[in-house]
Structure 1
């Protein structure tokens, strides 16, 4: 059952040579991890390559003052570029990974990961997803460096449906900002008639107006990070 779930989430594994596929399955270490578990953290040694079959892992860069900048999520079928780079460079982790839901994953030990890189299909799989993650991180860097916080907040709100059941702190965590800035911007959005605020709930009233802010053609007050 485990091997079937793994192949369903990562179809590329079916393209491995029979010897490589057998090596992977025999070395697989399966884990079921509760939501909110720290899978890895700064300065920890990387002991394996994770394959997520159920749930998700949120990877963030953490500052000494407690603020976090979310980098990406690892969901079924995706890989963790931080784990990849640490394994390839024999370095420790430089970010934190926390499960967002109860998560089922397979951990491939480092020695087997190294051996499987000799298989063309596995090597292509690792570097293809590595390239995709790099592109995502470059987009994140561009957003943080060149977009105001009000633009990023408007874009985030638009991606979550008409009614969002979320706290201001959760939005701040998503944006790598602080709750006070986000709350100030949301009150500004509400004053403009763009959203309606309630306890742990935000209702989108004017999606077009938010899109204008997100695109930079309109602005809200207090758009600093």
Structure 2
């Protein structure tokens, strides 16, 4: 079975577009592999078939912030911007899990944009969706306190058992702050009875109280 049948959105493309895409081979990427770095030329348009890729912006001081995650069916805005604008990557992408993906080279990407209305809709629809999530990130960092962002992260990513399995460094990257700040905020939330925490695990004790932190904690 061709890889284009593994992606619902690509399966819906016209036959000539699928035939051209089927000339490309998927790549298996191990967990922890760096897919691109700041300053590198854009290799092509990324199609995630399985797994997850995290794209982080790294500051001059070495701190990083999670810009977005790419899961199957989602786009990598860094790649799209680089292809359309000719700019190099400004962030770093790493495979958060083992992943299977296809990189559509620049010449194939533009040939499909020119010839396939369905492919154009796919690319720009995914681009618009990703831009909306980026705007949400900017809004959160600008107008929500660190404590509110941390509470929202815990609520959003905890499992059915109410546990979040992340290190403090990973939480700091996800909400755009320093690990030391996350440590202090976790301790404060623990003192109020919202949660408990130990190395690598946060357990929700009072979901309602955490939601109140998210709703009411402005700067």
TM-score range, shorter chain: over 0.9
State the match for 1:180 in structure 2.
Answer: 180
| Aligned partners of 1:36 and 1:98 also within 8 Å | yes
- Gap regions ≥5 residues in structure 2: none
- Of 140, 144, 147, the match for 1:150: 147
- Gap regions ≥5 residues in structure 1: none
* SS of equivalent to 2:32: coil
1:152-187: CA deviation from partner (whole Å, max 9, x where unpaired): 001111111311222211211211211110000111
Matched, 1:7 2:35: no
| Aligned partners of 2:54 and 2:95 also within 8 Å | yes
Q: Distance in 2 between matches of 1:214 and 1:201?
A: 20
RMSD: 1.5
State the match for 1:82 in structure 2.
Answer: 78
State the match for 1:208 in structure 2.
Answer: 208
- Write out aligned runs for 1:1-225 (5 A): 1-3=1-3, 6-9=4-7, 11-26=8-23, 28-118=24-114, 119-159=116-156, 160-161=158-159, 162-216=162-216
How many pairs does the alignment contain? 215
* SS of equivalent to 1:72: strand
* SS of equivalent to 1:51: strand
Q: Distance in 1 between matches of 2:87 and 2:25?
A: 21
Query: Larger deviation: 88-97 or 13-22?
Result: 13-22
Q: Distance in 1 between matches of 2:12 and 2:210?
A: 44
* SS of equivalent to 2:90: coil
How far did residue 199 of structure 1 move?
2.5
Question: Which 4+ residue blocks in structure 1 deviate beyond 3 angstroms?
Answer: none
Q: TM-score, normalised by structure 2?
A: 0.93
Q: TM-score, normalised by structure 1?
A: 0.91
| Aligned partners of 2:2 and 2:22 also within 8 Å | no
Q: Distance in 1 between matches of 2:212 and 2:30?
A: 40
